[in-house]
Structure 1
């Protein structure tokens, strides 16, 4: 149940949008292959939709959630019964609102256990704990959203980051309710990490403890042990923590990784406490802070991300497409649009925008999915380009200002069922070069390559990893660099692809894939539910 409720734990009272009165919202617990039903009742004051992030929803885009892509929003006072179909996902995912900026406070974890009779591909941990990293504004989030849309400038940065809903001891008024994880010496904890922040990739670490990543985006990985992780909005990671240090109190902490020059970001640090269940130390002692890379340490972020590898075992195999039917080379850019009388708050009086392949996506006023299913014309066009319209030095330090203006359009790309896609995201240095976490709905993909500079189609594919690339649904494209993914289009429906930095999504950094039906009934999209919200 979605409703507005007072929230008083951060020095003041303000209404926030919650689910079942909780912030973060309730955790969903399922087994691999389950199907669940979730009834969403909107008792708030704004339209709402919900997305089950990373859940492939085989043949069922009707419950995927993004407004005006797969459904029209649930209006205040209305409800919608969503059917959430799990398939091969195993590990940690999450759910969140997918309309305007409602996901700032409306999100929660999804824990997907192995099927009964099977187990983890690592020793069973003694404790499992979701760790949700979030972002907090003192102002009403809808005020922030409407204001920067009106001015054309950047949104106000957040006032705090949070760990499980609390910013921690380094902020005023939070010490009493700072999240605390109590562990016993010698035990192993599975941290189910989720970055639910709106606009920031985060570095996260625990003082004096290493972290071993064993899964990303509900797919297992080869163990990767590091002193810190870099986790982008939308990403999830399963991490093992071994409680093997001197009993005491230690900070876990997170702060932003922000690579863009002159790009505003929240430069505060959120903390929680790791405390050993041992009475032989001073429980009032000040915990030590962990080392975290500097806020613009691109090498630290890239080194971590590029080290991830799929488990690629007998029980958890990989099936990287070796042949490719479709190739796309897509630039992702921050852009500007002209503003009447140069009166907006973007560069030189312009309005900020963002694009994929120079198209700043315009959401329609009705659902793309319903338009596709019912053959309603004029809602979208099928001309999303395979390659950028202009070729230039995408990562040059100085760019021609004439390149900054994108095309405004609602363009989709149509794929045949079971066809294979290779897509290279090329980050550009237009306006501001930054990292971009790109998320694809309805499909997981293999991250086969990444690097810095302009992608070289003759040289870079020689270094693709086609043996054990990580399987993800969200991937970070590095600043002034590129990332290549591959996937098989075996899920019929309409599926959104977008940057998971919310300001970039609002500015238009998104597009949509339509995967056509296959020939037999098991490869065709399911019919719509009877209670689809109307526009």
Structure 2
């Protein structure tokens, strides 16, 4: 087993911060000037090692990863290793006040976890407030030495991280919105590897992917955006999808990739077109009335040998509400289900849960309109505690949370139709308890209290199988008849269709406290989140490991 040590130092562009390339060497870095050049905006941002996006974490399946995070900024921070299963190591999962207290200014914390049974592409990002807008990067998990990909090995690889950019400080944006009770401003631009591409009053040329004719490239595509599901296209080229969320899939071809916040997609691109320049484009998806950043970010795929001023091949951008494209892409995703990588869908279920998720409005005496937009699961808007849930569970600290999170909506109604007159949510810090090795089915049912909307939902601590989805209200009698229990896609983040539902299944074989939330940061802020508490098992390797000595204190 190989041990890898990376030092991630969080820096801010308030002056000339120190850039750390190794554990002990420090360098100056003028981040304000760098970001003005790249993003045509002058504002301080929080970064990791002075980079935006942050450094890529490379490891192999079976490696132990140790990351020392040192906080040199004025804000509290945490880092989440999105999609890493964290078997028995919930202390390293990272969501603030769920598995740990934040790392305070001037303090540090060592994340220590082993990559067990996983290989592919994942994402790391800050997991407190809206810091992940700039604090994010890629995790590349290579197969064990001697183990080959279940597809033709590409000639080269490239990491492509998609994001959003605000001209204003994102924390100011969200704080003003919470005080007013209204939705926050949408982002001002999308980015590809931190670059927005040509834009008004901006000389940035955008990201360039260099290729050679005849070669195959594995594109590791990551959506690190805060609030938007995105389309990804390259003019004149098609992709072969081979993996999502670090789980292999049956290969299929497409010219458009659909990817939600927190999701990753590995796609093989063959450089099989004429030498020249081809537009890379990302654009938002939203098939309802909810606002998005409608800016299209572009980059360039450039063939080796392209003359200095060649014509550029353009691409057709999908309509913002291109539901057929998203549906076709999602329906094409199937797990590999091979001898080496079997699909293990739970066939019997211990807990059958119905989670009605959506956005509503509560009274607010201090807000501009006397109301505040909220979000909820089963009518509960989650309240963040001041002591981390995992610490409260491990040390038996009372009064931090209750065990009464409802397994179904307290009052059933037409979830995707006309809502009841009174849908005010309740506030609470509630968990749903599971015994070790219990099998769970969750039907994530979208609602239309204000407007129906797609919800990319992330489960910490587990992968799950997406066994079914549909439009309208879930029918517990007839809809399970069409479930795919043979080769459903395996993921850690799944989109719930607008005015529809998605059914997922997983086995609770990882003790600890595990967050489930919408990965649209605005919805998480409003309360669309909850936590599972998985009890210890009876075997020697079925209990939470003791907390590390440097675990931050609240």
Length-normalised TM-score, structure 2: 0.93
Q: 1:459 aligns with which of 475, 478, 481?
A: 478
Shift of 1:174: 4.1
The answer for the alignment partner of 1:164 in structure 2 is 193
Residue 114 (str. 1) matches residue 143 (str. 2): yes
- Is contact 2:40-2:204 (8 Å) kept? no
Residue 225 (str. 1) matches residue 245 (str. 2): no
The answer for the alignment partner of 2:349 in structure 1 is 324
The answer for the alignment partner of 1:187 in structure 2 is 215
The answer for the alignment partner of 1:275 in structure 2 is 302
Tell me the distance in 2 between the aligned counterparts of 1:216 and 1:257.
19
Q: 2:433 aligns with which of 400, 411, 414?
A: 414
Tell me the distance in 2 between the aligned counterparts of 1:134 and 1:51.
17
Q: 1:4 aligns with which of 4, 9, 12?
A: 12
The answer for the alignment partner of 2:281 in structure 1 is 253
Residue 344 (str. 1) matches residue 396 (str. 2): no
The answer for the alignment partner of 2:492 in structure 1 is 473
- Is contact 1:248-1:283 (8 Å) kept? no
Shift of 1:312: 0.6
Deviation track 1:361-413 (CA, whole Å, cap 9, x = no partner) reads 001011000000000011000011111111111111x323412x111111100
Residue 399 (str. 1) matches residue 419 (str. 2): yes
Tell me the distance in 2 between the aligned counterparts of 1:382 and 1:432.
30
Residue 529 (str. 1) matches residue 512 (str. 2): no
- Is contact 1:38-1:84 (8 Å) kept? no
- Is contact 1:213-1:223 (8 Å) kept? yes
Deviation track 1:124-161 (CA, whole Å, cap 9, x = no partner) reads 10110110000000111221121111111111111100
Quick one: structure 1 residues 171 and 94, their matched pair in 2 at CA, closer, same or farther if it must change by over 3 Å?
Answer: farther
Quick one: structure 1 residues 127 and 77, their matched pair in 2 at CA, closer, same or farther if it must change by over 3 Å?
Answer: same
Q: 1:381 aligns with which of 388, 392, 402?
A: 402
Deviation track 1:278-322 (CA, whole Å, cap 9, x = no partner) reads 24xx43234233223210122221221122000111111111111
Tell me the distance in 2 between the aligned counterparts of 1:411 and 1:287.
54
Tell me the distance in 1 between the aligned counterparts of 2:311 and 2:496.
38
The answer for the alignment partner of 1:33 in structure 2 is 62
Residue 505 (str. 1) matches residue 524 (str. 2): yes
| SS class of match (1:285) | coil
Tell me the distance in 2 between the aligned counterparts of 1:126 and 1:204.
22
The answer for the alignment partner of 1:147 in structure 2 is 176
- Is contact 1:306-1:450 (8 Å) kept? no
Tell me the distance in 2 between the aligned counterparts of 1:224 and 1:424.
27
The answer for the alignment partner of 2:154 in structure 1 is 125
Shift of 1:171: 4.6
Aligned length: 525
Deviation track 1:27-58 (CA, whole Å, cap 9, x = no partner) reads 00100111110000000110000000000010
1:420-435 mapped onto 2 (5 Å cutoff): 420-435=439-454
Tell me the distance in 2 between the aligned counterparts of 1:379 and 1:224.
47
The answer for the alignment partner of 1:335 in structure 2 is 360
- Is contact 1:52-1:84 (8 Å) kept? no
Bigger CA drift: 138-147 or 36-45? Answer: 138-147
Residue 204 (str. 1) matches residue 232 (str. 2): yes
Bigger CA drift: 141-150 or 439-448? Answer: 141-150
Tell me the distance in 2 between the aligned counterparts of 1:101 and 1:20.
19
| SS class of match (2:422) | helix
| SS class of match (2:313) | coil
Tell me the distance in 2 between the aligned counterparts of 1:418 and 1:172.
56
Residue 361 (str. 1) matches residue 382 (str. 2): yes
Deviation track 1:97-146 (CA, whole Å, cap 9, x = no partner) reads 00000000000000010100101011110110110000000111221121
Tell me the distance in 2 between the aligned counterparts of 1:482 and 1:142.
32
Q: 2:458 aligns with which of 421, 424, 439?
A: 439
- Is contact 1:228-1:292 (8 Å) kept? no
Deviation track 1:156-199 (CA, whole Å, cap 9, x = no partner) reads 111100000000124542434x1111100110000001000000
Tell me the distance in 1 between the aligned counterparts of 2:232 and 2:329.
12
Quick one: structure 1 residues 463 and 286, their matched pair in 2 at CA, closer, same or farther if it must change by over 3 Å?
Answer: same
The answer for the alignment partner of 1:58 in structure 2 is 87
| SS class of match (2:69) | strand
- Is contact 1:253-1:289 (8 Å) kept? no
| SS class of match (1:443) | coil
Bigger CA drift: 294-303 or 381-390? Answer: 294-303
- Is contact 1:255-1:295 (8 Å) kept? yes
- Is contact 2:413-2:420 (8 Å) kept? no
Tell me the distance in 1 between the aligned counterparts of 2:373 and 2:339.
48
Question: Can you give the 5+ residue segments of structure 2 that lack an aligned partner in the other structure?
Answer: 1-8, 14-31
